[in-house]
Amino acid sequence: MKIAVGCDHGGFELKEAIVEHLQKRGFEVLDKGIHECKSVNYPEIAVKVGKAIQDGEAERGILVCGTGIGMSMAANKMKGIRAAVVSDYFSAKFTRLHNDTQILCLGGRVVGVGLGLELVDIFVDTEYEGGRHQTRLDMMAEIENQR
Ligand code: RB5
């Protein structure tokens, strides 16, 4: 599985840890930056990771900012993208099972490296259940077509 990863200055430390962790686990990681801890506007990084999903360059994405919220808001404005901010195990699992979320958003200032890496593992290891949940995803896609 290819995973695109990106962050702003609020998520830099956790993003670096995620890249190393996923590579050690054998995943191909597309690091969309930032590559040094400098101030950056999170929407530009969210778009890079979202585009990697839209283009089929990566199957999953992970975005990290201070809270995870700005990244998720930006990514969810992109067509076909389902991004979720998560800070607990249950949500990390069920946003994959029920929402087929492609992009996990984490708050580097919220979860820290220890919990952050555990949430990443749950996210990449859990498959979408499909079935009745697909109807709901189709309804969300329809909302997107209305605007
Ligand atoms: C940057 O200071 C901070 O606003 C950003 O990382 C993020 O938390 C926004 O949602």
pLDDT tens-place string over residues 24-73: 999 999 999 999 999 999 999 999 999 999 999 999 999 999 999 999 99
**What's the CATH code, domain 2-145?**
3.40.1400.10
Percent of the chain with pLDDT over 70: 99
Measured from the Cα of 109, ligand 1's closest atom is 8
Residue 127 — very low, low, confident or very high, per pLDDT cuts 50/70/90? very high
How far, in Å, from the CA of 69 to the mean position of ligand 1? Answer: 8
Q: What is the pTM of this model?
A: 0.98
Amino acid identity at 101:
T
75 Cβ contact partners less than 8 Å away, ≥ 6 residues apart: 46, 49, 50, 61, 63, 81, 83, 103, 105
Which residue, by CA, sits nearest to atom 10 of ligand 1?
Answer: 70
How far, in Å, from the CA of 6 to the mean position of ligand 1? Answer: 13
Measured from the Cα of 8, ligand 1's closest atom is 6
Residue 122 — very low, low, confident or very high, per pLDDT cuts 50/70/90? very high
Tell me the two tokens of residue 21: 């962790």
pLDDT at position 75: 98
- For residues 106-130, give the mean pLDDT: 98
Percent of the chain with pLDDT over 90: 97
Residue 147 — very low, low, confident or very high, per pLDDT cuts 50/70/90? low
Distance CA 12, CA 133 (A): 34
Q: Tell me if residue 21 is catalytic.
A: no
Q: Among 9, 21, 37, 98, which one carries the catalytic annotation?
A: 98
